[in-house]
Structure formats: C-alpha cells, structure tokens
Chains A and B, each alone.
Chain A
Amino acid sequence: MTSPASPQPAAGAAAPEVVVEVRDAYYAIGGRPVFSGLDLKVRRGRITAVMGPSGTGKTTLLRLITAQITADRGQVLVFGRDLATLSTDEVYAVRRRLGMLFQSGALLSDMDVFENVAFPVREHTDLPEPLIRRLVLTKLQAVGLRGAADLMPGELSGGMARRVALARAIVMDPEVLIYDEPFVGLDPISLGVIQRLIKHMNTALGITSIVVSHDVKELASIADDSYLLSAGRIAASGTPAELRASDSPAVRQFMTGAAEGPVAFHYPAPDYATQLLATDE
C-alpha cells in the first residue's frame, strides 16, 4: 500500500470524477496494430460498456487497464496515475483497488469455493478467522452461492463459477470492477442472474463497473455509458440509446448484427476464382 489515501480529486459539480482514462493509446501485437489512437473515459459510480466485434481488442484493452501490458504510445491512467510510470509495487497498490471477473472465472483449482473467495483476504490482511468466515459468507450470499461453499471449482457449472469469481472479485471491496465478457456461454437464467448482479453491485455497493462484451442487448439494459470499438479506436460513444440511434454505418452494422457492412464477412483472401482455378502447387 504505497498511497491508498491519495486525496480524491474534488468531484466536479457536474460529471462524476474520471477513474479510468485511456488517452490516445497505440498498441500493436507482432506488428499488427490493435489500437491506434484509443480514447476512453470511465466515470465513478457508473456502468461503462465497451462493445465491439470479436478481435477488436476488447480483452487487450482490459490488459492495458490492469497494467498487464503497457501501451506503445499514449497514456493509461487509473485513479489518476499513469500506469506506465509506476513501479511494480505501485502497480500492485493500484490493482488492490480493482476487481476483475474473468470469462473463465479463473478460480484457483486446488481450493474449494470458500477458500477461493477467502484467498485475497488471507493474502492481503491479517483478519481473524471468524471475521474472514463472516466476510466470505456474506459475499457468497450476495451471489446466491453460500450453499456451495464446500464445492471444488471443478464441480461448478459455468454460471456458478462466474458467480463465485464475482464474489471473489468483490471480497476486498474494490472501487472499480472489470467484467470480461460476462455473458458469454451462459444459459438464459444464469445470464439474467449475472446481469442483475452487475447492476446490483453497481447500485448497492457503488462500484464503478467496466463491462466488456459483444452482447449488445444484455448491455443496453444495464449500461450508463457505452463505447463501440472498431478498427483500433472508438467508433462511437454515448448512452446505449444514442448508439442505437446512430447513423454511422459501422455502428449500425454492429448494433443490428448485419453480415455486410464496414466489417466485411470475408477475411482478407486472394481472388476467389483465381485461387479455385489455380493448378496445384
């Protein structure tokens, strides 16, 4: 904990304070640009959705925000601190104020549900056992899985694993909670549960939420702000309703799920006829 009590910048009268900001970020993997001039702001206490087709770097964006990778150019500020300038200890101090829900849950496979949720508490605090027990049970109750405390991660369904991971992500009371594709691969009931939980974490606990997903419909009902990623930058931003009303072809294609549009159906390939007619070798 280098500076946990850094004074909160006085929140302006109008918009809530910006907690995560990406400024003109460039990032390339193996020479292929993923981001070219990305700008994005996440305000305190709101649910911010980042949408975009597969392969537009949504997960890479989360890796930038959590300091797993550094931008080639531009800045990533979390709680007002430029991640690129921080030492490892300072990065860890920033991460303690973040929570992240992985698509796979990423539960530690050698401990049961209770110990998984207790893990960050045991690692970061010296709380007495009865208190840890109460804390963990409270969080498990919040995601409806208090009864599953003794199960091993292998015994959980996908939706349950994600809820346990959510309990683990909130056990240290993070200020910002990041969800990576929280709706993928869930049945309609689990999906509704996760959706309600995201909203609940936001309203009841006041947690700032960043939700990265391509599920437009699910996001629209819970998001306060949305960004649409396309071709390495933000193609559009605003409330979900504003995005739906947009007349930009890229936004329209994504929001309506059309096969043809700025995002081509075909992966770049040589001419079809030429390739078919070419003799072998």
Chain B
Amino acid sequence: MSNGSDRGVLFEGVRRLGAVMIFLWQLLMQCLPALARPRLVVYQIYNAGARSLIIIMLSGLFVGMVLGLQGFELLQRFGSEEALGTAAAIGLLKELGPVVTALLFAGRAGTALTSEIGLMRATDQLTAMEIMAVDPLRYVAAPRFLGGVIAMPLLAGIFSVIGLYGAQLIGVVIMGVDRGVFWSQMQSSVGLRDVMEGLVKSLVFGVACSLIAVYEGYNAEATAAGVGLATTRTVVASSVVVLLLDYVLTAAFLQG
C-alpha cells in the first residue's frame, strides 16, 4: 500500500518535471518571436523588476547590515576585522544577493505573475486569444518569462550593492573599521570570477523562478481556488528549487 503510493508520488513528480520541461521548450521557441514586440517585454521587466525594487532595496540594506554586524563579531575573534569588506562582498555577491533576491522575487513578482495568468485562464482570456489565432504562449507567457529572466540579475546586482552599503554602514561607521582598509581589502581580493558566479546564479534563478511562476499560472485550474493553489505552489516550488540549484551551482563553481 505505502509502496504503491510512494511510487505514485515519484511518478507524479517525474511527470510534473517532464511537463515543466516541455513547457520550457515551447516557451523558448516563442521567446524570439516575443522579442519582436519589445514593448511587451520591456513592460514586463518593469512589472517584475521595477515594482520589486523597494522590497529588494530594503531587504538588501538589512541583510547587509546584519552581515556587517555578524561578520565584524566573528572576524574580531580572529583579530581580522579589516577583512570585513571582503567577507561582506563575497557573501553578498556569491550567495546572499542571488539567493535572497530570488526568494523575494518568488514572493513578490512570481505570485503576481501566477495569479495574473491564472485569472486570465479562469476568465477565458487565454482561450479567446487561441481562438483569435494568437498564441498565448507568445503573447502572454514568453514576455513575462523574459521579463523575469532579465529583471532577476539586475535586482540581484542592486541587492548586493545596497547590501555592501549596509555592511559598510555598520562595519565602518558604527564599529569603526578603517574605511580605506574596508574598501581596498575588498578591491584586492574580490575578483571578476566572484561577480560572474553571482551573475550566473541569478540568471539561473531567474529562469527557474519565472518558469515556475508562468507555468503554474498557465496551468492553473480555472477557478478561484485553483488560482490560489497555483500561487502557493509557485512560492513553495520556487523557494525549494532556488535553494537546491544554489547548492548545485556552488559545488560546480568550486569544482571548476
């Protein structure tokens, strides 16, 4: 009995993963035609990106401040407070920037995308487009997907920059680390490779979060409860997938 249901869960998981991958393929096929209408894509960058700015900047500031506090406390034990700038930069660029931004993105922009597309499904708007011989994948899904993919690295970059400012605020202004040392240490030990790692991560997270959000909305059951459920699934699936991918990417970068 339990064996059977375990197999059911596994089967369902594999089936869903397959469905999402097929959806991704169909979506990618529509991305180039969607780029022919840059207006739609630009609007979605605004929608997913600019509208998430406040939450990203606020969170970045606080995460950076905590990093400054904890980092200072920890480094002080080894008498190496001057490494605070490096520690904060590495932590933000490679890890916290991409990951926290992706988690916030899933909660802020991902849910909005899912419920918007789900409601369009529930009110027959997607079907109406199909009947008008307009592919909703091209007109609705692809611009939103592209908008999310482009917005994510930009948001992660802004998050890291604001975070660094927050760490500097605590470390230099309050805890008294030397300003020159803070920045010069960072400059000498943080390389392009670290920045690239963060960029690649946030790009991958952007693809994952946007894909999940658009997929869940597009396939939401056409009822109020169905749209609500799809929105929840977007947050849960995005968060888990982001953390899982983060481990995989971190391991891959350490290998390579």
Contact = CB atoms under 8 A, between A and B. Distances in A.
Interface of A: 66, 68, 92-93, 95-96, 98-100, 102-104, 106-109, 119-120, 123-124, 165, 168, 172
A64 to B, nearest CB: 13
B134 interface: yes
Most A CB within 10 A of own CB, among B119, B124, B133: B133
B174 interface: no
B219 to A, nearest CB: 15
B132 interface: yes
B14 interface: no
Interface in B127-161: 127-135, 139
Contacts of B135: 92
Given A104-B124, A106-B127, A109-B119, 8 more contacts: A66-B131, A95-B133, A103-B124, A104-B123, A106-B124, A108-B129, A109-B120, A119-B132
B125 interface: yes
9 contacts: A66-B131, A95-B131, A95-B132, A98-B131, A102-B124, A104-B124, A106-B124, A123-B133, A124-B133
B208 to A, nearest CB: 26
Contacts of B139: 123
Contacts of B132: 95, 119-120, 123, 168, 172
A102 B128 contact: yes
A68 B136 CA distance: 13
A5 to B, nearest CB: 17
Contacts of B119: 109
A194 B96 CA distance: 58
A168 B128 CA distance: 10
Nearest to B122: A104
Interface string B84-124: 00000000000000000000000000000000000110011
The 10 A-B pairs at the shortest CB distance, nearest first, are namely: A106-B128, A106-B124, A95-B133, A92-B133, A96-B133, A100-B131, A120-B132, A123-B134, A102-B124, A106-B125
A4 B137 CA distance: 24
A108 B125 contact: yes
B130 A102 contact: no
A126 to B, nearest CB: 12
B123 A106 contact: yes
Contacts of A100: 128, 131
Contacts of A103: 124
Contacts of B125: 106-109
Contacts of A99: 131
Contact of A68 (B120, B127, B133): B127
A180 B128 CA distance: 12
Most A CB within 10 A of own CB, among B119, B130, B135: B130
Contacts of A119: 132, 134
Contacts of A172: 132
Nearest to B131: A100
B124 A120 contact: no
A120 B131 CA distance: 10
A102 B133 contact: no
B189 to A, nearest CB: 48
A102 B127 contact: yes
Nearest to A63: B127
A268 B120 CA distance: 35
A93 B135 CA distance: 12
A103 B128 CA distance: 11
Contacts of A95: 130-133
Most A CB within 10 A of own CB, among B120, B125, B132: B132
